[in-house]
Amino acid sequence: MSPHVPQPALPGMVTSPHPLASEAGAAVLRRGGNAIEAAVAVAATLAVVMPHFCGLGGDAVWLVADREGLRRSFLGIGQAAEVLPDFETAIPLRGPSSMLTTACAVDSWGHALAFGQQHWQGRELFSDLLAPAIALAENGYRPSRSQDFWLEFRRAEIAGWPGFASAFDYPASKGIFTQSSLAQTLRHIAEHGHRSFYEGELARRLGGAMASVGSPLTAADLRLTRTRDAEPVSQDYRGVTLLAPPPPTQGISTLMILGILSRLDLAALPPLSAARYHLLVEAVKQAFLDREHISDPDFAGGNAHGFLDPMRLEEKAQAIDRERALAWPHPYRHGDTVFFAATDEQGRCASVLQSTYFDWGSGVVVGDTGIIWQNRGAAFSVAPGHPNAIRSGKRPFYTLNPGIAFKDGSPHLLYGTQGADGQPQTLSLLLTGLLDYGMTPAQALAQPRFLLGRTFSDSHDSLKVEQSLGEYTIAELAARGHDVFSLPALSPIFGQAGIICFQEKGKIVGAHDPRGEGVAISV
């Protein structure tokens, strides 16, 4: 459509993994805010109510789009410290020595808001968008089952995590979880602006606290931290254009998987058949064989579009044996995150993932700020010459890849999921469910999941599947050579995803994952 032709108003919608966060975003839409403003309110609230998966000490990756053809990616990814220690062996997975990259989530909020003010007539005050998060940190909230699960899961380790116990007032009276130090930090940022996290008194405190625990990060590193504005990469699938953030994210892997699957007739296969799941898993393997080459383009100069060359995708599709599984010894990458999305009455969209990498990040709370810092530095390699080898100022390979799909020139789907390596795998299941089988968002999210490779809770190089796939199908997958290990239906191991779908006649439907407590709210 021409940008000069007024377009009909649409319902707004927010989806997130926590009801309080979804409500914070919905409140912004009700008072006339745009999708980016709603997403910032969600992001800040999730930083409080899901501290095990995201926070001020982490990063964020955004996709934004509208019905006028605007399509942008904001890469809120922190860079490695300027002065790095020498690593003779692998980088530690937790603790101060894993705190090697700055945190860019807060800068991404400010960057996105400025973009929304310029392009989408944004008028909301930053302080107003952070107000719900501040109130929840100060007054408390009842922890989700997910938070309780990960607190209990790591209880034995938590005793040795610096500053962790003092940052959380839990369990307090009536099971309410408060974070008074974090409330003070959020209030400071709300009053002084998003860059106060990186410049000024708070940044100096963060830098001093980093030094005191043994992290190489400094206030000077924080000052250099900036969100990158980039063009998304894209891939056509069944008449729909899928958008993903560019490297160093693994968005290109998701697009490769779908590009491979576009050459296979999935719709002819029953949705719960071993034949379908086998092709999904094998397409994942073919894409992941190239994934180690994804890295910071500022250092590697990689050609992202070469991964999506039609001849390359055709060769990978042809390499799939429809009857036999390819052996898979490749290691799994850890990671936990939150996905959320918002769309407003003008059809403007934000699809976002926010993370501190592992559950509870590095496990280190920085000084008296209440901020858990991410351990994203552990994603680097120490092998000389590796595309993702650690270097000063470099951004690590990134698992976060939110998505937006366009149909007939307008946004059609907003989607994303928690789960590191599981993100492209789950997205392949969701997107084929939606686009090949015509499922609703709720139906697509309820499909039995699969997960290839090791996870954070087991060391078995297997294909994990939910038992709801059925004994016969699981046995048939095993007969094709898959090393199958079944887990209970709706297991948290398979992450939490969300979908918003634009349908005909201005209707919008959305849902969040039945594996969690998240909700989609229509406005």
Nearest Cα neighbor of 259 from 443, 70, 431 is: 431
Nearest Cα neighbor of 259 from 311, 307, 309, 313 is: 313
Interval 60-119: pLDDT, tens? 999 999 999 999 999 999 999 999 998 878 899 999 999 999 999 999 999 999 999 999
* Type and span of the H or E element at 430: helix 422-435
Q: Where are the beta strands (DSSP E) in 140-197?
A: none
pLDDT of residue 460: 53
pLDDT of residue 2: 42
Q: Hey, CA dihedral for 45, 48, 50, 56, is it positive or negative?
A: positive
The answer to whether 337 is a known catalytic residue is: yes
pLDDT of residue 477: 97
- For 282-320, letters b (16+ CB in 10 Å) and e give bbbbbbbeebebbbbeeebebebeebbeeebbeebbeeb
Greater model confidence, 321 or 165: 321
Distance CA 226, CA 79 (A): 9
Reported pTM: 0.94
CA dihedral 110, 112, 118, 119 (to 10 degrees): -170
SS3 255: helix
- Beta carbons of 17 and 496 less than 8 angstroms apart: yes
Q: State how beta strands 410-417 and 497-502 pair.
A: antiparallel
Mean pLDDT of 382-404: 92
What are the beta bridge partners of residue 328?
none
Give percent above pLDDT 70 in the chain.
Answer: 94
Interval 119-133: pLDDT, tens? 999 999 999 999 999
Mean pLDDT of 206-213: 96
Mean pLDDT of 228-252: 96
Please name the residues in contact with 203: beta carbons below 8 A apart, sequence gap of 6 or more: 196, 197, 219, 222, 223
Greater model confidence, 492 or 479: 479
Judged on CB neighbours under 10 Å (0-12, 13-18, 19+), 490 is middle
Q: How many CB atoms lie within 10 A of CB 489?
A: 15
- For 217-244, letters b (16+ CB in 10 Å) and e give bbbebbeebbbbeeebbbbebbebbbbb
Instruction: Indicate whether 211 pLDDT > 70.
Output: yes
pLDDT of residue 504: 85
pLDDT of residue 457: 47
Give percent above pLDDT 90 in the chain.
Answer: 79
Give backbone dihedrals phi and psi of 465, rounded to 5 degrees, phi first.
-135, 155
Interval 297-336: pLDDT, tens? 998 765 566 899 999 999 999 999 999 999 886 655 555 6
Nearest Cα neighbor of 56 from 100, 18, 103 is: 103
The mean pLDDT of the chain is: 92
- Single out the catalytic residue among 15, 178, 254, 337: 337
Out of 7-11, 134-138, 235-239, 425-429, which region has the weakest mean confidence (pLDDT)? 7-11
Kindly list the distances between the CA atom of residue 156 and the CA atoms of 8, 151, 160, 356, 383, in Å, as whole numbers in the listed order.
55, 10, 8, 20, 31
pLDDT of residue 172: 53
Please name the residues in contact with 276: beta carbons below 8 A apart, sequence gap of 6 or more: 266, 269, 270, 432
Tell me the CA end-to-end span of the chain in Å, nearest whole number.
25
